Chain A
Amino acid sequence: MVGPSASAVADVLVVDGVISEVAERVDAPAGARVIDASGCWVGPGLVDLHTHLREPGREAAEDIESGARAAMVGGYTAIVAMPNTEPALDTVALVAYVLDRGAGTPIDVAVAGAITQGRRGELLAPMAEMAALGVRLFTDDGVGVQNPSLMRRALAYAKPLGVRLAQHCEDELLANGGTMNEGVLSGRLGLIGRPALAEELMVIRDLELARLTGASVHFMHLSTARSVALVASARAQGLPVSCEVAPHHLTLDEGACEGFDPLFKVHPPLRSSEDVAGLRRALCDGSIDAVATDHAPHPPESKDLVFDEAPPGMLGLEHAASLTYEALGGDSADPHRFFGVLSRGPSRVAQLRSSDDRVRLSAHGGDVTVGEDANLVVFDPAQRWTVDRERLQSKANNTPYDGRAMLGRVRTTVAKGRAVLVEGELS
């Protein structure tokens, strides 16, 4: 049994969706389902800050139900649905639709609303109305809010609402339509590069806008060591900022693009091996609040296009825990840090630490202690397995990890007191 801040060898009893007893030995009441987790880490269910569920609009790639299944396989008990659907989640009606559909799944589906109408980066979306419905995070993800004046206005508007803006940091003018990291390799391959600076400039801009407005900003899928260092330094100065990294930026570098396989195309792009090493160091030293998947399903035909026309993005939910374990050092990974970046950190950013009746969401990211909502995961740090793109729960199969040998796997997921995944099988 491991929490973000405590660990012990113990039995855990769950009754009516709540942890009712934690002790060295608990006798199972008659009729209780017993799950053997010997040798495993039992911790709070994982929380993904960054899930593209594609519903409404692109259900051929994923829908809320299939995305939730993929999440459960990955150990997630809560996910935050990104608003870049078609249409974008920029009104109360659309947010309510996704919340309702999410409530029909065994896990908690929170919603991030759009910052601007249609995510067009022109006019503010009705954030106050969406906030009243329980939305706590807003983003135009897919692109960042390019106009600094509009971003400033959005922050000033968000602050008194108690909500947080999450930014996809890439200055699109500097990114210049590029398709991979800018560097020696992009020059040699004849692919237009997206420079690291395109990300870092917007990080710098929004750190300063956070300073100016006093509003909090969450920096999404940071991909360079410098971006993370900038956020860490601003936080040390007391700015209300947080950041996430994606599993692929911790485990793949730009060299993967050498074969022009669109499975490795993603925005922000896979960076240099130095950046990967820098992000891993930052993950281990606590500079990073959350690992967030940026789970981006695409139908197979779209990844059969040429590299510069294929859409960016890759799957994440079903292997993020294993990849995070790898990035934290595998055998030497710190279990507190593991649950810190996969559960408590993201729960704080998404304000999911306490339950919210308006949106019918339970509490996430706590220690495994009596009284906490029973959102739990059993992670076996010794299990070896191989990714098979034909055996994913996601509707899509655009994983860049097909055939990759992994160490550590989610065995069981308990969502709101219910065992939804047992020994790797959905139930």
Chain B
Amino acid sequence: MIESIRGRSLLTLGDLDRQAILEVLDTAESFVEVNRRSIKKVPALKGRVVASLFFEESTRTRLSFETAAKRLSADVLSLAVASSSVKKGESLRDTIATIDALGIDAVVLRHRSSGAAVQVDRYVPHVRVINAGDGLHQHPTQGLLDAFTIRQVLAERAGTTGVESAGELFAGLRILIVGDIRHSRVARSDIDAYVALGATVRVAAPGPLLPEGVEEWPVEVVADFDEALQWADVVGLLRLQAERGSGSFVPTLDEFTRTFGLDERRAALLSPRCLIMHPGPMNRGVEIASRVADSAASVVERQVANGVPIRMAVLYLTVAGSSEGIRA
């Protein structure tokens, strides 16, 4: 297990230990303060070049990463490689080599294919690769910002700070993840982070939307959704990935909503202090009712806001975290 992401690529949360995750959360805490200043900029990555390479459309993740890089004073190369310009079949290796030739310190990579970031990391071992979501595999910064958001809210309630609480607030914390687990890279990263931090994780989904081999995962598959809602301290909802064909894994969207949607009746079963999370973009009226999404229990906007400090922390630790091995 990796104890720190300093000077390394961030491809998955699956091989990070508790210490490595807490280091990112604590580092992000210091950047929250930067984001509250009138001049939201520190010189940590001055002179560094971060390439933002999104092979799959994503407005919020891309904006969040680019904002984070700019607030660290890095130069950002934002490359238009949406599906229109990179034809299917073009070599990923060639695209990366071209960008590498421009002189970069880090690549933030989003790709529709699982493992793309792992492959790119092999192609350019001297460049830090930050996985911004690869297929169904991992979305590490989302997992980190979700853990960060939970810690932040719980610390506030406890009258302490995230850094002081370290990971203690996660001990025995009951987290329920609901919906399209099979097709969700967010679920995979969330589970890795929560379990490493000591939480108890349950998952609830229609049978076909559970991943193969889930019985070997460090989670419990929920038999009674209503009971699990009463049990949970945190409920994390997932977007039904219609673009990945999830629609054909359940009979109808309506039936999915009736059986696994967080509607108002089910929201009433939640403990009053339960947090409701969603990585966005939400399908209102499908996995979550609109009123529930906008209720006081929802921390969806905090998740978005925390994206910037978490990505600042990840860029800072991976790129500036080690002086050797990074090109001058």
What is the interface of chain A, defined by CB distance below 8 A to chain B? 182-193, 259-261, 301, 304-309
Contacts and interface: CB of A to CB of B under 8 A. Distances in A.
A187 B137 CA distance: 9
A183 B119 contact: no
A184 B217 CA distance: 8
B137 A186 contact: no
B278 interface: no
A58 to B, nearest CB: 14
A192 B136 CA distance: 9
Nearest to B135: A190
Given A182-B212, A308-B135, A191 B89 contact: no
Interface residues of B, number: 28
A309 B89 contact: yes
Contacts of B211: 187-188
Given A184-B212, A184-B213, A309 B137 contact: no
A225 to B, nearest CB: 19
Nearest to B97: A304
A307 B88 contact: no
A306 B116 contact: yes
B214 interface: yes
B110 interface: no
Nearest to B115: A260
Interface string B195-238: 00000000000000001111011000000000000000000000
Contacts of B93: 304
Contacts of A305: 89, 91-92
22 contacts: A182-B212, A184-B212, A186-B212, A187-B211, A187-B212, A187-B214, A190-B115, A190-B136, A191-B114, A193-B212, A259-B115, A260-B114, A260-B118, A304-B91, A305-B92, A306-B92, A306-B113, A306-B119, A307-B114, A307-B115, A309-B88, A309-B113
A257 to B, nearest CB: 9
Contacts of B188: 188, 190
Chain A binding surface, main DSSP class? loop
B14 interface: yes
A261 B93 CA distance: 12
B185 interface: yes
Contact of B137 (A189, A193, A261): A189
B138 interface: yes
B3 to A, nearest CB: 21
Contacts of A191: 114-115, 135-137
A261 B214 CA distance: 24
Contacts of B122: 259, 261
B113 A307 contact: yes
Nearest to A183: B213
Contacts of A259: 115, 118, 122
Contact of B14 (A182, A188, A308): A188
A417 B210 CA distance: 60
A261 to B, nearest CB: 7
Contacts, number: 72
- Shortest Cβ-Cβ A-B pairs, 4 listed: A260-B115, A190-B136, A184-B213, A190-B137
A190 B89 contact: no
A185 B213 CA distance: 8
A188 B91 CA distance: 25
A188 B113 contact: no
B249 to A, nearest CB: 11
A186 B214 CA distance: 11
B185 A190 contact: yes
Nearest to B14: A188
A260 B111 CA distance: 14
Given A188-B213, A191-B114, A191-B136, 11 more contacts: A183-B213, A184-B212, A186-B213, A187-B217, A188-B14, A190-B138, A190-B188, A260-B116, A261-B119, A306-B111, A308-B114
B156 interface: no
Contacts of B113: 306-309
A186 B114 CA distance: 10
B94 interface: yes
Given A301-B91, A305-B92, A189 B212 contact: no
Nearest to A191: B114
A109 to B, nearest CB: 31
A207 B92 CA distance: 42
A185 B14 CA distance: 12
B310 to A, nearest CB: 21
Contacts of A186: 212-213
A309 B115 CA distance: 11
A304 B93 CA distance: 6
Contacts of B213: 183-188
Among A188, A259, A308, find the residue whose CB has the most chain B CB atoms closer than 10 A.
Answer: A188
B280 to A, nearest CB: 19
A182 B185 CA distance: 17
Among B111, B134, B135, B188, which residue has the most Cβ atoms of chain A within 10 A?
B135
A183 B91 contact: no
Nearest to B11: A260
A306 B115 contact: yes
Contacts of B216: 184
A378 to B, nearest CB: 39
A308 B134 CA distance: 12
Contacts of B114: 189-191, 260, 307-308
Contacts of B185: 190
A259 B119 CA distance: 7
Contacts of A184: 212-213, 216
Interface string B87-112: 01101111000000000000000010
A158 to B, nearest CB: 37
B202 to A, nearest CB: 17
B195 to A, nearest CB: 13
Interface string B113-138: 11110110010000000000011111
Nearest to A186: B212
Given A190-B138, A308-B113, A308-B135, A183 B88 contact: no
Chain A CB within 10 Å — which of B89, B91, B115 has the most? B115
Nearest to B188: A190
B203 to A, nearest CB: 12
Nearest to B119: A260
Contacts of A192: 136
Contacts of B119: 260-261, 306-307
A309 B119 CA distance: 13
Nearest to B118: A260
Contact of B94 (A188, A189, A304): A304
A184 to B, nearest CB: 3
Nearest to A193: B212
A304 B92 contact: yes
Contacts of B138: 190
A96 B34 CA distance: 75
